[in-house]
Structure 1
Amino acid sequence: MTRSRLALAVVLAAVATTGLTACSSTVAMQPAEGANDPACADVTVRLPGAVDGQARRWTDAQATGAWGDPAAVLLTCGLEPPGPSTMRCITVGGVDWLVDDSDAPRFTLTSYGRTPAVQVYLDNEIVSPNGALDDLSRAVGVLPTTTACTNPESVPE
């Protein structure tokens, strides 16, 4: 093998190795204050291998999950449960979620009426919010329910 072909082979091998490493990189996240709550461990062990078609990736923080490359769905367990809110609340897969769409097409959704709370950040340009929440609600649904969302029109004045 000529010297130039050998050099080309080494470069191609390095590029291939780098490419493979990049595909399996760990997603850097911050754990929530209550990430060590045993209930978060119950959620974490039930997290799916895929969310709305996006494969799960490793994270570097306790009680977290990430899916997609680039990460399109990020989950953090161990947040303080939110109190009453005027934010839109939806129910998907039996779990109530407060919807923060102020950064659309990216959404932050926080479980409502469950302790500890779970927060999900998702990119609506890559995943379907309903599909992603349906996949995640199976895991989040193990958290005990303390209250449910109410429709403002049904609350007496």
Structure 2
Amino acid sequence: MADLTVGPPTEADFERWRALFLGYAAFYHVELTDHRIAESWSWFFDPDRMTDCLLARTADGTPVGLAHYRTEDSPLRGTRGFLDDLFVDPAHRGSGAVDALFAELRRIGEQQGWPTLAWRTAENNYRARSVYDRYATTTGFLTYSMSLGA
């Protein structure tokens, strides 16, 4: 982990972030349009949006992992963190990139005063779940998604 750094993206990171994001989408069998990619990227640079991005970088500055996260208000729990997406280039799995991303998310969460950081993953995402189990416990909640036609 010593040769990895984590921080926000710069405009110059777009192509590498895009490749990582497409890898993440492919894992979940989601086809991304150019519009969806451009819109998501723009959120990270828009101060009026809550979604942020962290990139794990190798010693030469190449992004090899991403985390998309945001602050979320919960009437029951207060303001907390929510991790929308986490992905590491398969060639860099086991490199400490996930550990570095979680360390930075913890630092940000503590700085923001979040009581928790929550996230979801697919039930059959066993490799990721084995890592997540080192950082958190499952909540027992199920996720539902209602289609709204948009």
TM over 0.5: no
Bigger Rg over Cα: 1
> Taking structure 2 as the reference length, what is the TM-score of the superposition?
0.29
* Greater strand fraction, Structure 1 or Structure 2: 1
* Greater helix fraction, Structure 1 or Structure 2: 2
> Taking structure 1 as the reference length, what is the TM-score of the superposition?
0.28
